[in-house]
């Protein structure tokens, strides 16, 4: 019998999932030098990210929780890399 591995590993962390979704939607990007996540402050990208959370929340997580996690994540991410701004 052929077993395909369609499903992503169910539990990374909800945080890791949120970062993936925000990156996929283009709402955040990583500093090339330091790897910090930066908010792109793009409202359309945020809408896309919330859309993904609504349609496809992680296994075992309600879409409400998934959306709340995205909000928390966006609140905690600044629009500049802390290390880049420290160097200026
Ligand atoms: Zn940086």
Interval between CA 86 and ligand 1 midpoint (Å): 9
CA atoms within 13 A on the CB side of 76: 11
Domain boundaries, the chain: 14-87
**Span from the CA of 44 to the centroid of ligand 1 (angstroms):** 24
Average pLDDT over residues 36-63: 95
**Total-model pTM:** 0.79
Region 53-58 average pLDDT: 95
The token pair at 39 is 């908010």
Which 3 state secondary structure label does DSSP give 77?
A: coil
Residue appearing with tokens 């908010």: 39
Residue 77 Cα to ligand 1 midpoint, Å, equals: 13
CATH number among 3.30.43.10, 3.40.640.10, 1.10.10.1920, 2.40.50.180, domain 14-87 = 1.10.10.1920
Query: pLDDT tens digits, residue range 8-18?
Result: 555 568 999 99
Q: What is the Å distance from ligand 1's center to 85 Cα? A: 7
pLDDT-based confidence at residue 4 (cuts at 50, 70, 90): low
Q: pLDDT class for 87, splitting at 50, 70, 90?
A: confident
* Alpha-carbon span 68 to 49, nearest angstrom: 12
How do beta strands 37-39 and 28-30 pair?
antiparallel
């Amino acid at each position: 019998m052929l077993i395909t591995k369609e499903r992503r590993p169910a539990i990374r962390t909800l945080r890791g999932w949120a970062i993936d979704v925000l990156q996929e939607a283009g709402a955040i990007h990583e500093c090339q030098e330091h790897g910090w996540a930066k908010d792109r402050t793009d409202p359309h990208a945020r809408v896309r990210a919330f859309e993904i959370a609504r349609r496809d929340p992680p296994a075992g997580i309600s879409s409400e929780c998934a959306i709340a996690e995205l909000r928390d994540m966006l609140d905690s991410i600044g629009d500049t890399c802390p290390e880049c701004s420290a160097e200026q």
